[in-house]
Structure formats: C-alpha cells, structure tokens
Amino acid sequence: MSTLAKFVASWKKQGGSNGLASAEGCAIRINANGKICDQSAHAGALAELWRENEPTLHSLATKALASRVPCDARLEGVAGTNFWLVAVPEGDGCLIVGRDTTLPDKVTEALMKSRALLKELLDSAVDVAFEVDADQNIRFITPVEAFGFKTEMWLGRAASQLFWPKGDAPVRNPFASKVAAHFDAVPVQLEGQERRWLHFSVHPQLDKTGNRVSLRGTCRDMTARLLAERKAKQDSLRFTLLQRITSSLNSSETAQELMDNASEALQEMLRADMVWAVVKYHEGLVPISIMGSRHEILDLDTIWHSFDDKNGAGVIAGDNRAHLGIRLDLNGQALGMVIISRDTEVSPWSDQEKQLLDGVAGVLTAAFSKAELIDRLYRLSSKDDLTGLLNRRALAETVEARLKHQCRTDLSGCLVFIDLDHFKEVNDTLGHQAGDTALKMVAEVMQNMIRPCDYAGRYGGDEFVLWLEDMRAEKAADKVRSLLDFMPKVKAAIGGEDLQLGASIGVCQSRPGVDLSFVELADKADAVLYEVKGSGRGDVAIARNETDVVVEEA
C-alpha cells in the first residue's frame, strides 16, 4: 500500500468521513460550489488559505475531482508553515486533509545540514574514510578523489593490494586489525607513486558471535610532517656531530687524539660498533684510528677503489655486513677515508645516515688535514739533531700512545731495539766525524724502511729504536735484517772496511692491553738483543712472551 493510501485509510479510521468537528487532525470539506462546508477544529490556517485562493491548494482539489482518485501535494513556506496536503474526491466535492510538517521538515533539514557538515569536516580532517568487508575489499570510500586517484575505481578491490601493490604490506596491517587501533607512520606506495606515510585509525565491526564483518576507518597523509620531523632530527644530529668534531679540532693536542675523538663521535651518532679512520699515504692506506669494540680485517685497497664511481658517502659490501664510508679529498688530493660498520642485518644503513655523513664531510676533511699537520709538526719538533729521527723523549711518548691505542683496537705492534756493534772502534780509529756519518747512514736506512704509520728514533749514542705498527714479530725480524745487510756499505762509506762495525737487533711484539710502558717493552727487546751479543753479534732475535708456547723436541 502506498503512503498516500495508508494516510487516507488512517484518516477514515478517525471518523473523518463523517463530520469533521470531532476530528483531531486538520481538514476541510469542499462542496460542489467550491465553498467550505465543514472543517475540523484545527483547520483554521488551512481554511484561510482556501479562502485566499492559494494556488497549490486549489490546483490539488481540481486535480482530485478530475481524476476521481486521491492526490497529494506539498505546500511550503506559506504563512511560515509547511503542509502535506491530500485531496480525496467525495461526490461533487472533496475532502482536503493537511498535515503540518513544519517541525519535521526543519529537523530533517537540520539533520541533512549536519550530515553535510560532518562529511565536510571529515573530508578536511582526513584524506580518506573507508569501509572494508570481512575479506578486506573496499565497499565504501570517500571523498571521490584522493592521493591523485578517482576513489570509485577502488570499490570492490582488495585494500592491501591497492596500498601495497608490490606485496610488501606491513606485519601490522591496518586493514587486518581485529581491534580498534591507531597506526602511525605506515609506509605505503600506491601504484606509480613515490612512497608516502599514512596515519590509520580503524574500528572493526563485529557480529553477535564476535566475528569481524567489516572494518571502518580513516587515513591521513603525514608524509610532509614525517619528512619535516626527520629533517629536523637530521639537522640536529648533523649540528651536534659538527660541533663535537669542531671542538676536537680546536682542543686536540695530538693527531691521534684528534682522529680518535672524531671517530668516537661518528660511532656514537651513527650507532656503529666500529669506525676506521684511514689515511692515504703515497706508500699506501694506513688506519690511524680504529674505534669500537669489534675488530674486523678490511680489504682497504678494495674499499678505496670502490669509491672511484661514488660521489659522497656510500654503502660498501663486506663479508658479512655492509659498511658506510666516505672518501675525503682536498684540492684534488686524496686524504683518506672513513669507514663505519654495524650489524646491517638488524639495522641497515638509511639514506638519512648517508646524508648525515655527507653533511659532515667538510669538517672530517679539516680533521684529516689538521691531523696530518700536527703529526708532521710533532715529528719535526721532536727530531734528533744528528740523525733527524725522533729523539728519546718523543719516541717514548709516541710508542706509549700507540700501546694505549691498541687497548681499543686489539692490534699489536713490534718494538725493535738496534745496537751498533763495535761503534767505539769507529770513533777511536777514524774519528767522531766518521762515527757521525755512520750513525746518519743507519738512520737513513731505518727511515726508508718504515711506513708512514711506523716510527724510527735514536735512543741514545749508537742505540736506535723502531716501532712497527700492526706487525707480527716474525715479519718485523725479516724486515730489519736488511739493516744487517747494509752494514758493509756503511763501513765502506767511512773507509773502515777492516773494522768490525755491525749491528745486533732485538724484537719484542706488544700484547694489547698488557704492555703499556715503553720502558718495559724496550727492556724486553734490549734483553734479547744482549742474548744476540752474547752469542756472536750481527743477528736478530725475538723476545718470547709469557703466553708463547714452547714446543720441545723429542
């Protein structure tokens, strides 16, 4: 039954088909002459409109009489009132019933405005409002356009496939949530677009048994805010790192201290477990600072050449992890490189961290340059007047600094003690000038023998000391035998071929964290040197540490 038929039936049940005086509603009866012949107690306004020939009201009566079926019409805004009118033909006249809809209409209008306002507020507060069914297929979405797409094209499609077309949906997938929850900074990558980050707020809809039948939610693009926050954090980290390294540039007294401080700052800021600061010398690459609790042997040459095609910081593949590194140059001249390492299976290097390292490349270059200058000035100011090697004081300070450094790196070096045999005979036979010539020739051989990371010094008189960084005792012994082979040339140069001038050498390898005193290490090397002198001179001997295992022959 139609709404109109229901209304007519309801009116007749009230007795409206008889006299209208007792009717509770609003009604008038019109006779064949178009005059009101009866009206209800509440029909004053309606009767007045009929008498004023209100067009809608008269047209409705005419239509009902002509068609002989009930008709209805809306009358709005007349005398500040809204009516729903129904005209029912009765013989030559008709019954006109009016229902005052002013209040319901205003309520409906307010609700419609509220709904429109709510939608407007929702659309401005979030980028997308959605509902997905139990299978995560989208069945409602607003607005009609979002993230550059017409959202009507998403209806019926799987939400996860839309937001993660490469199949890399996160473990905490908002569309799969079984409880009301908020998901902050969820990475998504819509088809053909760059990655963006969304904030999701979801509310599952459950049936009486507790099963999820749908999920409603909203999402808002927070990419700009996230990137701004990351940039602010990045700028803060870069500023702090620059400040720490710059402070070290101004306060460090030695090249080692400067590079250790810079490496320590990098290790802390980049959450690394190892940092190498490597200097590029003409002779090769030499680590001058290794900071961290983990030691790994690196193929420095391979890493260095891997930077040939890179501008700025880059990630270098290692045996079981990837390293972050940067090569430093000044005015076209290679200074060195910094290599930073951590467990990249747990925490891979990010683009932001590469940018951070690029951002401090300038101050790292300054640190390398100053470290090189400090080292050069220290060597110049600490030279022995005759030979140009380090003097005894500088030698002791340098070796003890290296021994302390080895506590962190777990590397070891060798202290080599050299004593010239029968040197007094040179002075007594050929004079002190010949003796000085011999000392300078030995010093020159030693200087040519060492690498940039090694140190050579005159201990006193005809005694010399070498510090060979990161070298085993056996290799050090082989290296210094060339000095024994050179002694005949020294004798020939001073015109003393018949003299017994030679050299005896003792080698002692340091133990990281145990040997920290130059004097104690020198005494060990000196002791084994005198064993050489006691057994005939002109040879090299290696001091045995307490941890060495002695294998007795059967």
Q: Give the up-direction half-sphere exposure of residue 19: CA atoms within 13 A in the CB hemisphere.
A: 3
Are 238 and 310 in a shared domain?
Answer: yes
State the CATH number of the domain containing residue 20: 3.30.450.20
| 109 within some domain | no
Residue 247: inside a domain:
yes
Judge whether 87 and 94 are in contact, CB under 8 Å: yes
**Cβ count near 118 (within 10 Å):** 10
Flag whether 322 is in a domain. Answer: yes
Residue 346 neighbours by CB distance under 10 Å: 7
DSSP 348: P
- For residue 110, being part of any structural domain is answered with no
Q: What is the pLDDT along the chain (554 residues), one digit of tens a residue?
A: 555 556 566 665 554 455 777 777 788 899 989 999 988 888 888 888 899 898 988 999 999 899 999 898 988 866 667 888 899 998 889 998 888 887 777 777 777 766 655 555 554 457 899 999 999 999 999 888 999 999 999 999 999 999 999 999 999 999 999 999 999 999 999 998 999 999 999 999 999 888 999 999 999 999 999 989 888 888 888 888 888 888 888 888 888 888 888 989 999 988 898 898 888 877 678 788 888 765 667 788 888 888 876 678 888 887 778 899 999 998 888 889 999 998 888 889 988 889 999 999 999 999 988 988 888 887 778 888 899 999 999 899 889 888 888 887 777 899 999 999 999 999 999 999 999 999 999 999 999 998 878 899 999 999 999 999 888 999 999 999 999 999 999 999 999 888 999 999 999 999 887 887 899 999 999 999 989 988 888 999 999 875 543 333 33
Q: Is residue 489 part of a domain?
A: yes
Cα 4 from Cα 13, distance rounded (Å): 14
272 Cα distance to chain centroid: 13
User: Exposed e or buried b for every residue in 508-523, given b needs 16+ CB within 10 A?
Assistant: bbbebeebeebeebbe
Say if CB 375 and CB 311 are below 8 A apart. no
Nearest to 520 by CA among 508, 512, 532: 508
Domain boundary among 314, 340, 375: 375
For the domain that residue 424 is a member of, what is the CATH number?
3.30.70.270
Angle between helices 255-269 and 392-409 (to 10 degrees): 20
Token pair, residue 506, equals 């003792």
Q: Domain for residue 72, yes or no? A: yes
Residues 499 and 402 grouped into a single domain: yes
* Side-chain half-sphere CA neighbours of 229 within 13 A: 7
Q: Which domain holds residue 524?
A: 383-542
Q: In terms of domains, do 27 and 83 share one?
A: yes
Same domain, 400 and 495: yes
Q: Are 16 and 97 in contact (CB under 8 A)?
A: yes
Query: Strands 274-281 and 333-341, how do they pair?
Result: antiparallel
**What is the three-state SS of 210-231?**
CCEEEEEEEEEECHHHHHHHHH
Q: Quick one: residue 110, left, alpha or beta (phi over 0 = left, psi -120 to 50 = alpha)?
A: alpha
Are 195 and 103 spatial neighbours (Cβ–Cβ below 8 Å)?
A: no
CA–CA separation, 240 and 325 (whole Å):
19
What is the rounded CA–CA span in Å between residue 215 and residue 178? 9
Establish if 425 belongs to a structural domain: yes
Q: Say yes or no: 440 and 404 in one domain.
A: yes
Q: How far apart are CA 494 and CA 497, in angstroms?
A: 8
Enter the pTM of the model: 0.57
Examine the domain organization and report whether 181 and 294 are in the same domain: no
Distance, in Å, from the CA atom of 138 to the CA atom of 91, rounded to the nearest integer, reads 58
Last residue of a domain, one of 192, 221, 250: 221
537 and 388 assigned to the same domain:
yes
CATH no. for residue 338?
Answer: 3.30.450.40
Q: Which two tokens stand for residue 488?
A: 């005949």
The total domain count for the chain is: 4
Examine the domain organization and report whether 196 and 255 are in the same domain: no
**Of 323, 358, 375, which residue is a domain's last?**
375
Q: Does residue 168 share a domain with residue 255? A: no
Does residue 111 sit within a domain?
no
Pair (533, 400) in one structural domain: yes
Torsion angle (degrees, nearest 10) of CA 519, 524, 529, 535: 150
> In 3D, which of 507, 348, 327, 353 has the Cα closest to residue 419?
507
Distances (CA, A) of 400 to 370, 391, 397, 448: 22, 14, 5, 23
Do both 182 and 251 map to the same domain?
no
Q: Is 182 found in the same domain as 33?
A: no
Q: Any residues with CB less than 8 A from the CB of 434 and at least 6 apart, and which?
A: 426, 427, 494, 495, 496
